[in-house]
Each structure stands twice: as structure tokens, then as C-alpha cells.
Structure 1
Amino acid sequence: MIRIRPSTPADGDRAVDIWRAAVDATHDFLTPADRIAIEEEVKGFLPQAPLWLAVDADDRPIAFMLLDGSSMEALFIDPAHRGRGIGRALVEHAIGLHGTITTEVNEQNDQAAGFYERMGFTATGRSDRDGQGRPYPLIHLLFSPRS
């Protein structure tokens, strides 16, 4: 059974560990240099970011989501816990908070793109580069509750 709770400063290192493991498992399209550069950026902001954590029975974080209002800026699940409904639970938490949710997914990340499609997100656009100007196309997504 998982529980969702806000992060605390003590969760920062674990959030970076989750990010690292998840990226290494799903982002094989990144160049080695970009992978290193992105990790440095992540280590600079993620530990202080206001995250929603999915935690196990021992209160150990196993996934996190970063929301900026109704924009889901990040969703990462420890690969050892994938396929157990944790990503779905976090997204449903965001929907419960905001109803309509936007996010972006790397076009090359087929697993994540499929997850968002199964969750009911629809594509609203595409960018040729990521938010830092790197050549990793993004698909812009929207979840809007059905009336």
C-alpha cells in the first residue's frame, strides 16, 4: 500500500536517487554529456522543490511528482516499483487537486508517452527542443475531466 504526502527537506537526496534511477531506465536517448549536465541541474533544484511523494509502508519515497499549479513538471518512479499503479496514483492525486492537468513528455520516451495516453491525456502540441533548448522533442499533453 502506498501513501502520498508532501516532501520534506530530508527527502531531497532520495528524490535525486529516484530521478537518477528512473532516467537511467527510460531515457536512453540522452547523450552521455546531456545526461550528466541534466543531473547537475536536477541536483541543484530537486532537493528543495515542493514534491508530492509516493511512499511505502516504511515512509520511504518510491516516486515523486512536481506540480506547478496545474502543470505536472515531473513524474518519476523508482524502476524497482514500476508497474504497480504508483504513477497512476500520483496523477490521480494531481487531478484531484486541480482537475485539468498539463504536462510534457519526451517524444523518444515511448513508455511514458504510452502511460499518459492510457491515463487519458491528449496531445495538444509539440516542441522540437526541450525546455533547456536541447534537441529532445517534447509532446505537450492535457488531461481534462470529461463532463
Structure 2
Amino acid sequence: MTEYFHQVNLFCHKDSNLEITGFMGIADNNLEMLFINPESRGKGIGKELLMYGIEQQKVKRVDVNEQNAQAVGFYKHMGFHIVNRSEFDGTGKPYPILHMELKC
């Protein structure tokens, strides 16, 4: 069996106490993950991280679980649009994934 690995670059946001409040992972212009501490949501941290990813790391794509309406809405608000849909997630489970790209 051949195994493939790709490098994911991680970036984090820290508060004034140097506690990590959110992080994202980027690989090949694709946002692989974006997590915000639940206690820190609604403070613009996700937007700040994503804008850094777009402007400095050239993020152009993201895959989102279709059932995560909050995330889908966030990425649409940030300028992404749906370009494709997969019936199954990356592990073959029946969780539809929306493939989104940043509008030019």
C-alpha cells in the first residue's frame, strides 16, 4: 500500500494572556482546518485567521461538512462559493462535503 502525506502549515491566534484561542491549517492553497475555542467565538478571530490565510498564504479553497450550516454561512460571508458536492467525506462515511472556492 502506498501512503501519501502532505505538509500542513499551522497558524494560531493567541489572546493577551498568550493562550491559543484559535488555529488553522493550510496545505496547497487549501484551508484544511479552522478551529476557534468555543469561548472565543464571535470575536472576529476566525475572520482574522482566514483573512491572513487568504492574503498571506494564498488560500483559495475549503471543504466543509454540508451539515455545518454555521461554517458554510461563514465561508459564504467571507467570499467563498460552492463549486462541487461530494456525497461522502474523506473516509467514505455518508457526510456530504461542500467544495468551496474563493470568488475572484
TM bucket (normalised to shorter chain) is: 0.7 to 0.9
Give the drift of 1:68.
0.2
> What is the RMSD of the two structures over their aligned residues, measured on CA atoms?
1.3
In the other structure, the counterpart of 1:68 is 27
The count of corresponding residues between Structure 1 and Structure 2 is: 97
Higher share of residues assigned helix = 1
- Provide, for residues 20-51 of structure 1, a one-character-per-residue CA deviation record: whole Å limited to 9, x for no partner: xxxxxxxxxxxxxxxxxxxxxxxxxxxxx631
Q: Confirm whether residue 138 of structure 1 aligns to residue 80 of structure 2.
A: no
Determine helix, strand or coil for the equivalent of 2:98: strand
Task: Determine the C-alpha separation between the residues in 2 that align with 1:51 and 1:97.
Answer: 13
Higher share of residues assigned strand = 2
Matches within 5 A, 1:1-147: 50-145=9-104
- Provide, for residues 61-82 of structure 1, a one-character-per-residue CA deviation record: whole Å limited to 9, x for no partner: 1111000021000011111011
Query: Gaps spanning 5+ residues in structure 2: where?
Result: 1-7
Task: Determine the C-alpha separation between the residues in 1 that align with 2:103 and 2:58.
Answer: 7
Give the drift of 1:60.
1.0
Instruction: Report the residue type matching 1:95 in the other structure.
Output: I
In the other structure, the counterpart of 2:4 is none
Determine helix, strand or coil for the equivalent of 2:49: helix
Give the drift of 1:144.
3.7
TM-score (norm 1): 0.62
Query: Gaps spanning 5+ residues in structure 1: where?
Result: 1-48
Task: Determine the C-alpha separation between the residues in 1 that align with 2:56 and 2:92.
Answer: 30
Task: Determine the C-alpha separation between the residues in 2 that align with 1:66 and 1:141.
Answer: 16
From the superposition, tell whether residues 98 and 52 of structure 1 become closer, same or farther in structure 2 (CA, over 3 Å): closer
Instruction: Report the residue type matching 1:96 in the other structure.
Output: E
Task: Determine the C-alpha separation between the residues in 2 that align with 1:78 and 1:100.
Answer: 22
Instruction: Report the residue type matching 2:50 in the other structure.
Output: V
- Provide, for residues 84-124 of structure 1, a one-character-per-residue CA deviation record: whole Å limited to 9, x for no partner: 11110011001112445100110000111110111110111
